[in-house]
């Protein structure tokens, strides 16, 4: 009857609304639904694939006789009760996932996600055996399959929105085509929908944080509203770039626990980037990309190379947050290696959410024409100052006494250039002086850079000189019992006879302890109880 006037989506919505009151009374079933991406774990070295779709999966789970009355619904034709589990029930997904896991337990070549089952094998002969095992299990548990939606023994297969091949997985072409044809969102709600679709494939996208940064700025302090978006030229370019990056998404290899793994990471002042790779066929192949824009609390000011010594330092020299993070990382590896940014191309690119503003040499050239200090330097024989033409037609005075060309920086631009170089990673005094000396010249460059580095506010906030530890309290030994009694309140605790708090009393002389349950710890109630 329902089928004649409602689509499949509408029927599910009707059933969800119908079970509203029942769902509010149901105890949540916390059985976990697998992550979509977890199917990669069974695919190493596999070449043949099958997909089995179960026929009306939830309807294949019977409802216990004593619980059927809870599903009663009123219709124009009378009162009806469900004999099988229905869509829309709060615990239906968890119940079915537990059941299908039990049915296929022990088959490590199978990945079941609700009513979709993926089977992967290394050869046709092996696949035939595996497929028979799965079908026997399904038959044993009384499950029926939907032949029209099932696919058997193919070398490429679509599963949960991904295209799986022997070489790896990539976004499904039809989904990519739909996103590529997505019109520019007019309001916040449409933009949120677009980013949701795009980030379904985020693990395939290099530079995702960078390319979506401006688009996410529109979503700040907004919910499901329909405010119109005032698109800028730069935001429009990012919108198109996001779609193009999905069209050129990287093919990701399947994880193989027998191959060496490496996590390539990099961080800037505004973001972190990483790529997990494994060494196969004499090269590093990506397994997953990761990038994230940092909020104000997450931003790190550090030079990267010293991190390789992090596990060799004493913990009392580390801040509490650093000690906690190092302890967590040490559960996986303590072998941290330093790679120059120019050699760490993949991860380094991911972390560059914002481009470093370029130095305006045209303005510097204009300032040089009126710089008295530059005129006095031109008489120094140790320097070989020459004018170099810029693309704008102006000329820039540079020192060419060595094989490198060092522009002379007038006083008005020196601190700006310092922040431009030092602000990238906030290195120490010696490193900053070395960087500045390798790029620019002015007479007091060493002295100025040293002073500015010492007075850099972000460096001062991040600097750790010494952490003081508060000593444990020392108390005099009392002369007798119950001369000094320590009391404390704690809770709330799991209810017991209406009490959720506890008052503890400890005699310092004898260490005798009493615990008194309380249902209220307000001052008036506490005094009355005492």
CATH number, domain with residue 22? 3.30.70.270
Query: Could you give the CA distance from residue 452 to residue 352 in angstroms, rounded to a whole number?
Result: 25
Which among 59, 28, 41, 62 is positioned nearest to 108, based on CA atoms? 41
pLDDT class of 353 with cuts at 50, 70, 90: very low
The confidence score (pLDDT) of residue 482 equals 86
Listed residues 352, 372, 399: the one ending a domain? 352
Q: Provide the token pair at 211.
A: 């390319």
The confidence score (pLDDT) of residue 176 equals 78
The confidence score (pLDDT) of residue 1 equals 35
Examine residue 254 and state whether it is found in any structural domain, yes or no.
Answer: yes
The confidence score (pLDDT) of residue 355 equals 36
Examine residue 102 and state whether it is found in any structural domain, yes or no.
Answer: yes
Report the pLDDT averaged over residues 40-60.
82
Q: In Å, what is the CA distance from 462 to each residue of 15, 301, 308, 322, 399?
A: 56, 7, 18, 12, 36
Mark whether 143 and 38 lie in a shared domain: yes
Within 13 Å of residue 74, how many CA atoms lie on the same side as its CB? 0
Listed residues 170, 203, 230: the one ending a domain? 170
The confidence score (pLDDT) of residue 196 equals 80
Mark whether 324 and 368 lie in a shared domain: no
Mark whether 255 and 376 lie in a shared domain: no
Query: Could you give the CA distance from residue 400 to residue 383 in angstroms, rounded to a whole number?
Result: 7
HEC sequence for 425-477: CCCCHHHHHHHHHCCCECCCHHHHHHHHHHCCHHHHHHCCCCCCCCCCCCCCC
Report the pLDDT averaged over residues 164-190.
79
The confidence score (pLDDT) of residue 349 equals 41
Examine residue 59 and state whether it is found in any structural domain, yes or no.
Answer: yes
Mark whether 28 and 151 lie in a shared domain: yes
Name the residue with higher pLDDT: 407 or 28. Answer: 407
Strand partners, 285: 278
Q: 282, exposed or middle or buried, with CB in 10 Å at 0-12, 13-18, 19+?
A: exposed
Mark whether 245 and 329 lie in a shared domain: yes
What proportion of the chain, given as a percentage, has pLDDT over 70?
Answer: 78
The confidence score (pLDDT) of residue 3 equals 39
Mark whether 118 and 41 lie in a shared domain: yes
Over residues 93-131, the pLDDT tens digits come to 888 888 888 888 888 888 888 888 888 888 888 888 888
Over residues 256-310, the pLDDT tens digits come to 777 777 777 766 656 677 777 777 777 777 777 777 776 665 555 444 555 655 6
Give the least confident one: 60-64, 211-215, 222-226, 227-231.
222-226
Name the residue with higher pLDDT: 510 or 184. Answer: 510
Examine residue 514 and state whether it is found in any structural domain, yes or no.
Answer: yes
Name the residue with higher pLDDT: 398 or 344. Answer: 398
What proportion of the chain, given as a percentage, has pLDDT over 90?
Answer: 1
Mark whether 305 and 391 lie in a shared domain: no
The confidence score (pLDDT) of residue 328 equals 67
pLDDT class of 336 with cuts at 50, 70, 90: low
Query: Could you give the CA distance from residue 290 to residue 351 in angstroms, rounded to a whole number?
Result: 10
Examine residue 472 and state whether it is found in any structural domain, yes or no.
Answer: no
Give the least confident one: 19-23, 70-74, 96-100, 240-244.
19-23
The confidence score (pLDDT) of residue 45 equals 79
Report the pLDDT averaged over residues 430-440.
87
Mark whether 272 and 184 lie in a shared domain: yes
Task: Kindly report the average pLDDT of the chain as a whole number.
Answer: 76
pLDDT class of 329 with cuts at 50, 70, 90: low
Mark whether 304 and 413 lie in a shared domain: no
Name the pTM for this structure.
Answer: 0.48
Mark whether 189 and 135 lie in a shared domain: no
Mark whether 211 and 332 lie in a shared domain: yes
pLDDT class of 223 with cuts at 50, 70, 90: low
The confidence score (pLDDT) of residue 346 equals 43
Give the least confident one: 26-35, 173-182, 297-306, 432-441.
297-306
Examine residue 478 and state whether it is found in any structural domain, yes or no.
Answer: no
Domain that holds residue 120: 2-170
468 pLDDT more than 50:
yes
The confidence score (pLDDT) of residue 101 equals 85
Query: Could you give the CA distance from residue 181 to residue 313 in angstroms, rounded to a whole number?
Result: 53
pLDDT class of 162 with cuts at 50, 70, 90: confident
Examine residue 480 and state whether it is found in any structural domain, yes or no.
Answer: no
Asked whether 47 and 166 are in contact (CB, 8 A), the reply is yes
Q: How many CB atoms lie within 10 A of CB 315?
A: 10
11 pLDDT more than 60:
no
The confidence score (pLDDT) of residue 76 equals 79
Name the residue with higher pLDDT: 427 or 318. Answer: 427
198 pLDDT more than 70:
yes
The confidence score (pLDDT) of residue 428 equals 86
CATH number, domain with residue 455? 1.10.340.70
350 pLDDT more than 50:
no
3-class DSSP state of 499: strand
Listed residues 352, 379, 405: the one ending a domain? 352
Mark whether 196 and 266 lie in a shared domain: yes
3-class DSSP state of 243: helix
**Number of domain units in the chain:** 4
Beta-carbon contacts of residue 386 (< 8 Å; ≥ 6 apart): 397, 398, 400
Which among 140, 134, 102, 105 is positioned nearest to 119, based on CA atoms? 134
Report the pLDDT averaged over residues 61-68.
80
Report the pLDDT averaged over residues 193-217.
75
Query: Could you give the CA distance from residue 456 to residue 268 in angstroms, rounded to a whole number?
Result: 18
Give the least confident one: 31-35, 177-181, 247-251, 496-500.
247-251
Examine residue 520 and state whether it is found in any structural domain, yes or no.
Answer: yes
């Amino acid at each position: 009857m329902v089928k004649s006037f409602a689509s499949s989506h509408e029927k599910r919505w009707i059933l969800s609304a119908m079970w509203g009151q029942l769902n509010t009374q149901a105890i949540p079933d916390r059985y976990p639904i697998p992550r979509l991406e977890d199917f990669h774990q069974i695919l190493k070295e596999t070449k043949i694939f099958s997909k089995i779709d179960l026929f009306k999966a939830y309807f294949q789970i019977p409802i216990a006789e004593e619980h059927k009355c809870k599903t009663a619904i009123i219709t124009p034709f009378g009162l009806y009760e469900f004999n099988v589990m229905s869509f829309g029930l709060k615990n239906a997904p968890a119940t079915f996932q537990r059941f299908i896991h039990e049915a296929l337990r022990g088959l490590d070549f199978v990945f079941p996600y609700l009513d979709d089952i993926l089977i992967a094998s290394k050869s046709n002969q092996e696949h035939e055996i595996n497929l028979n095992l799965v079908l026997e299990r399904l038959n044993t548990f009384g499950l029926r399959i939907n032949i029209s939606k099932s696919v058997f023994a193919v070398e490429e297969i679509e599963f949960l929105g991904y295209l799986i091949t022997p070489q790896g997985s990539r976004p499904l072409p039809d989904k990519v085509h739909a996103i590529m044809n997505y019109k520019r969102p007019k309001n916040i709600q449409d933009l949120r929908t677009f980013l949701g679709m795009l980030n379904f494939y985020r693990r395939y996208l290099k530079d995702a944080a960078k390319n979506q940064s401006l688009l996410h700025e529109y979503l700040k302090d907004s919910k499901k509203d329909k405010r119109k978006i005032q698109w800028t030229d730069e935001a429009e370019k990012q919108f198109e770039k996001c779609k193009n990056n999905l069209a050129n998404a990287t093919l990701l290899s399947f994880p193989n626990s027998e191959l060496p793994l490496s996590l390539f990471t990099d961080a800037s002042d505004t973001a972190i980037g990483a790529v997990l790779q494994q060494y196969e066929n004499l090269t590093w192949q990506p397994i997953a990309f990761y990038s994230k824009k940092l909020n104000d609390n997450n931003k790190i000011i550090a030079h990267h190379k010293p991190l390789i010594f992090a596990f060799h330092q004493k913990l009392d020299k580390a801040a509490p947050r650093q000690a906690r993070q190092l302890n967590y990382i040490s559960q996986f590896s303590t072998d941290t290696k330093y790679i120059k940014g120019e050699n760490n191309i993949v991860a380094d690119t991911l972390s560059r959410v914002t481009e470093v503003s370029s130095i305006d040499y045209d303005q510097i050239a204009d300032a040089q024409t009126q710089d008295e200090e530059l005129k006095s330097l031109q008489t120094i024989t140790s320097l070989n100052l020459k004018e170099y033409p810029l693309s704008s037609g102006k000329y820039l005075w540079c020192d060419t006494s060595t094989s490198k060309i060092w522009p002379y920086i007038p006083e008005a631009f020196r601190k700006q250039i310092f922040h431009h170089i030092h602000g990238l990673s906030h290195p120490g005094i010696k490193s900053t002086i070395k960087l500045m000396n390798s790029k620019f010249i002015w007479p007091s460059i060493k002295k100025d850079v040293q002073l500015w580095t010492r007075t850099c506010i972000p460096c001062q906030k991040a600097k750790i000189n010494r952490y003081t530890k508060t000593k444990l309290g020392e108390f005099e030994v009392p002369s007798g019992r119950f001369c000094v009694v320590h009391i404390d309140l704690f809770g709330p605790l799991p209810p017991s006879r209406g009490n959720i708090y506890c008052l503890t009393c400890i005699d310092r002389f004898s260490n005798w302890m009493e615990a008194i349950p309380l249902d209220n710890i307000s001052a008036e109630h506490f005094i009355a109880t005492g």
